[in-house]
Structure 1
Amino acid sequence: MHRRGGCEHAAMSSTMRAFVLTGPREGAVQEVPVPEAVPGEVVVDVDRAGVCGTDVEFFTGEMAYLHQGHAAYPMRLGHEWSGTVSAVGAGVDPAWLGRRVTGDTMLGDRTCRRCRKGHQHTCEHRQEVGIRGGRAGALAEKLAVPAWSLHVLPDEVDAVLGALVEPGGNALRAARAAGVGPGDRALVLGPGTIGRLTALFLRADGAEVHLLGLEESEHVRTRETLPDLPFDAVVDATDAADSPALALELVEPAGRVVYIGLSGRPSTLDSRALVLKDVTAVGVLSASPGLADTIAAYAAGTVDPRPLVGATVGLDRVGAVLAGERFGAPKVHVDPRA
């Protein structure tokens, strides 16, 4: 049995497999030390981890945090995950052992004004799991995180759904910010994981939803084939620098635009149009305030994002996925023990 305080079996290995990114377009599976459950933290055996567009930006070297001093190579990616608590540190309730969990990506210092106001995801000194501040991510067999950041997964939310909670939390917040419901019409720019998840939550709220992308498909329209309809809300879930202005152009006067996508270069829009159309604009940074409600929606079956997962691969395939390997559906999951 595990001993409290995070001590491991004597027979257990002191190393584990993890995907380590060592530079732009350079990464491989390495044997790294198993994380310790330090005071206040737990160690989680990772069941599933999702590969995200942010991970791709780190892979290409374009991610802004690399140039702002918030992140540096080598690093371990992975901020969308689910797993089982296998060890607890001092001061952590041992009842966490064996629980199936996911966790918040944003780890504020819990002492600053923003954290005290409940906005720890905007903390100036925050770490971000697999992203910022040297906090190792979940593309590994094990992951260490603060106990306070955990969310328990009910039986109805399996490992696949658990690893979709973090992107789902972002999408849920974007859908709520759109402020639409029955009788309203929304447009989502970008049919990637976040865009499609946002569409699912918008539909669950009763809105009519359209998707706009670069290529035509059964559920996606292009600029040339988009119906000439009034849109009460437009959500920009792309990485295109011209999309914020397009969202403002397409939204109805007195409507709402929601910005959750990030481009690799500065975006511009005409604030005069924002004023003259009396439009409300909302930015969404993270899933943090939406995690619990996302888990509840998945558990109730209100939203089922499983079809968004095109494949589940092992750690050895992570490099290829980051380099562009695709499997039909937008999301790729990793099973670290596959």
Structure 2
Amino acid sequence: MRAFVITGPFQGEVLDVEPPVPGPGEVVVRVERAGVCGTDAEFFTGEMAYLHDGQARYPLRIGHEWCGVVTALGAGVSREWLGRRVTGDTMLGCQACRRCLSGRQHLCADRFEIGIRYGRPGALAEFLPVPVFALHVLPDHVGPALGALVEPGGNALRAVRAARLRAGDRLLILGPGTIGLLAAMFAAAEGAEVHLLGLSTAFARSLGFACHTEVPDLPFDAVIDASNAARLPALAAEKVEPGGRVVYIGLAGEPSLVDTRVIALKDLRVTGVLSASGGLAGTIERYASGAVDPTPLVAATIGLDDVAGALAGGRDPDQPPKIHIDPSAQTERSST
């Protein structure tokens, strides 16, 4: 099968590789659509922290935002899965440790991460092996674009849930990237008044959100930091109302400092969010019902041969933030 493989910093190409064979408890999925995000771009540039602490190494196959159709079953998997359209969790815990058994498999110390951690192959390929415990069924009317947006949506939904919003609450979101915009959509669907802060706000404004390049002089019941700026976590705690909620889902490239005296003296509820685990089912429900429609976030759908160029080219902040890949699309040239 064809798969996009990163062999070193700024080096990626489409290769013919052996197709996956499902092991016990696994299925093989024919990938309909896959998305790339900032983590994938950091793998391509060599900046991703996992490359420097031994949790990942080249060559690697990225892609953890995906959907597709189950085409093969491993031993012990019910035949009911065959032919189903699915998406799935990125985090694959060991299923035996204390964290996994308590429902926190995304925090398992020995977890694999699809397309990210410990060599587990990703979805920028024609076929993907996935443990059946990680699968979520997609309704027929949740098409490929929506299906590939379930994973980032699950992250955003968990952040919004952690913000504990009530109808009429005022929410500030720091960072109008994919996660920030998805969080804005989920929060608006719950009746919150949403404001976004970013260096470039044109696209977010086109979606109808209140956007700012400086923090407006308003009281905020909750703040979600979905940025990668090291200075903004402190700003989140500073700008939220006393007794409010702060959610950290963005990751800076360097340590960010927050004065815990501010947290204590303002009696804040502060939550960190790692992964979409726990938010996938709720995201599918909201997409299926039409309560949230994130398809405007997709700028383009390309083939595997164009992935390297997309990863190297950066993102225009005034355009939709998400690039999708259709592994079945064929082009004549190979990206390097």
Query: Which residue of the partner structure matches residue 313 of structure 1?
Result: 302
Distance in 1 (CA, whole Å) between partners of 2:64 and 2:142 is 18
Query: Which residue of the partner structure matches residue 10 of structure 2?
Result: 25
Distance in 2 (CA, whole Å) between partners of 1:91 and 1:195 is 40
Asked if the contact 1:191–1:220 (Cα under 8 Å) also holds between the matched residues in 2, the reply is no
For residues 56-76 of structure 1, what are the alpha-carbon distances to aligned partners after superposition, in whole Å with 9 as ceiling and x for unaligned?
A: 111121111111211111000
Query: Which residue of the partner structure matches residue 246 of structure 2?
Result: 257
What amino acid maps onto 1:221 in structure 2? C
Structure 1 position 288, deviation (Å) = 0.8
Give the secondary-structure state (helix, strand or coil) at the position aligned to 2:61.
Answer: coil
Q: So what's the TM-score if we normalise by structure 1? A: 0.93
Structure 1 position 187, deviation (Å) = 0.5
Could you list the runs of 5+ residues in structure 1 that have no partner in the other structure? 1-15
1:221 aligned onto 2:214: no
Once superposed, what is the RMSD of the aligned Cα atoms? Answer: 1.1
Structure 1 position 238, deviation (Å) = 0.7
Asked if the contact 1:80–1:138 (Cα under 8 Å) also holds between the matched residues in 2, the reply is yes
Query: Which residue of the partner structure matches residue 336 of structure 1?
Result: 327
Query: Which residue of the partner structure matches residue 228 of structure 2?
Result: 239
Distance in 1 (CA, whole Å) between partners of 2:67 and 2:84 is 11
Asked if the contact 2:200–2:213 (Cα under 8 Å) also holds between the matched residues in 1, the reply is no
Give the secondary-structure state (helix, strand or coil) at the position aligned to 1:173.
Answer: helix
Distance in 1 (CA, whole Å) between partners of 2:298 and 2:305 is 18
Structure 1 position 322, deviation (Å) = 1.0
In the TM superposition, 1:1-338 aligns within 5 A as: 16-217=1-202, 218=205, 219=209, 221-224=211-214, 226-326=215-315, 328-338=319-329
Distance in 2 (CA, whole Å) between partners of 1:55 and 1:242 is 23
Distance in 2 (CA, whole Å) between partners of 1:192 and 1:220 is 15
Asked if the contact 2:69–2:83 (Cα under 8 Å) also holds between the matched residues in 1, the reply is yes
Distance in 2 (CA, whole Å) between partners of 1:279 and 1:95 is 47
Structure 1 position 220, deviation (Å) = 5.8
For residues 299-318 of structure 1, what are the alpha-carbon distances to aligned partners after superposition, in whole Å with 9 as ceiling and x for unaligned?
A: 11111101111100001111
For residues 200-257 of structure 1, what are the alpha-carbon distances to aligned partners after superposition, in whole Å with 9 as ceiling and x for unaligned?
A: 0111111000011012423463443x42100110000011111111111111111111
Q: Count residues with an aligned counterpart.
A: 322
What amino acid maps onto 1:128 in structure 2? E
Could you list the runs of 5+ residues in structure 2 that have no partner in the other structure? 330-336
Distance in 2 (CA, whole Å) between partners of 1:292 and 1:36 is 27
Percent of residue pairs identical:
66
Structure 1 position 324, deviation (Å) = 2.5
What amino acid maps onto 2:284 in structure 1? I
What amino acid maps onto 1:335 in structure 2? D
Query: Which residue of the partner structure matches residue 334 of structure 2?
Result: none
Give the secondary-structure state (helix, strand or coil) at the position aligned to 1:211.
Answer: strand
Farther-moved stretch of structure 1 (322-331 vs 296-305): 322-331
For residues 55-108 of structure 1, what are the alpha-carbon distances to aligned partners after superposition, in whole Å with 9 as ceiling and x for unaligned?
A: 111112111111121111100000000000011111111121111000110000
Give the secondary-structure state (helix, strand or coil) at the position aligned to 1:115.
Answer: helix
Distance in 1 (CA, whole Å) between partners of 2:50 and 2:130 is 21
Give the secondary-structure state (helix, strand or coil) at the position aligned to 2:136.
Answer: strand
Asked if the contact 1:49–1:80 (Cα under 8 Å) also holds between the matched residues in 2, the reply is yes
Asked if the contact 1:181–1:202 (Cα under 8 Å) also holds between the matched residues in 2, the reply is no
Structure 1 position 183, deviation (Å) = 1.9
Asked if the contact 1:238–1:262 (Cα under 8 Å) also holds between the matched residues in 2, the reply is yes
Give the secondary-structure state (helix, strand or coil) at the position aligned to 1:20.
Answer: strand
What amino acid maps onto 1:102 in structure 2? T
For residues 20-42 of structure 1, what are the alpha-carbon distances to aligned partners after superposition, in whole Å with 9 as ceiling and x for unaligned?
A: 01111111111111011111111
Asked if the contact 1:171–1:195 (Cα under 8 Å) also holds between the matched residues in 2, the reply is yes
Farther-moved stretch of structure 1 (114-123 vs 91-100): 91-100
What amino acid maps onto 2:46 in structure 1? G
Give the secondary-structure state (helix, strand or coil) at the position aligned to 2:17.
Answer: strand
Distance in 2 (CA, whole Å) between partners of 1:17 and 1:275 is 53
Query: Which residue of the partner structure matches residue 6 of structure 1?
Result: none
Asked if the contact 2:194–2:210 (Cα under 8 Å) also holds between the matched residues in 1, the reply is no
Q: So what's the TM-score if we normalise by structure 2? A: 0.94
Query: Which residue of the partner structure matches residue 332 of structure 2?
Result: none
